[in-house]
Structure 1
């Protein structure tokens, strides 16, 4: 199963945003910022990464449900998607 181009672009944007947030967290730590501010930013990074992962999983589920898979066993695809989804939970 391949990730569609639109989804790839969206996920890459989300990951680049998270990358910038991580750089910001590192700078905050180096500058001695308040731990509550650092934790707030870390939570934002975590949500951004979760959203990127969920977007990929949702895309795969959509492909499976619409029958766009490559002809492989649908039960195996569903099991694989369930495993991926649970790895993000």
Structure 2
């Protein structure tokens, strides 16, 4: 997956931030907060998850293409890479 420690740290920070934001969204809904505020925060969670996903793809792209994955899996085909990118779009 991600071998570079800096990239892994950045991804984990983004995921932790998204986790906190999601907990905030849940609390907002439970408190009956305004729909606009809830949707705004939910969009922030979505962006944080997207950024984490893009960072994972960017960091692991070389390994995916060359097949040097730490798990020993075969390199992804062009079609598989396209599907991976589209899943984040």
The alignment's TM-score, normalised by the length of structure 1, stands at 0.78
Q: 4+ runs of 1 displaced by more than 3 Å?
A: 62-65, 71-74, 76-80
Aligned equivalents of 1:63, 1:78: Cα separation in 2: 13
The alignment's TM-score, normalised by the length of structure 2, stands at 0.78
- Structure 2 residue 6 is matched with structure 1 residue 6: yes
Aligned equivalents of 2:58, 2:68: Cα separation in 1: 17
Number of equivalences: 85
Cα gap change, 1:7 to 1:80, in 2 (>3 Å): farther
**Structure 2 gaps, min length 5:** none
Superposed CA RMSD? 2.3
Aligned equivalents of 1:32, 1:40: Cα separation in 2: 15
Q: Is the 8 A contact 1:57 1:81 kept in 2?
A: no
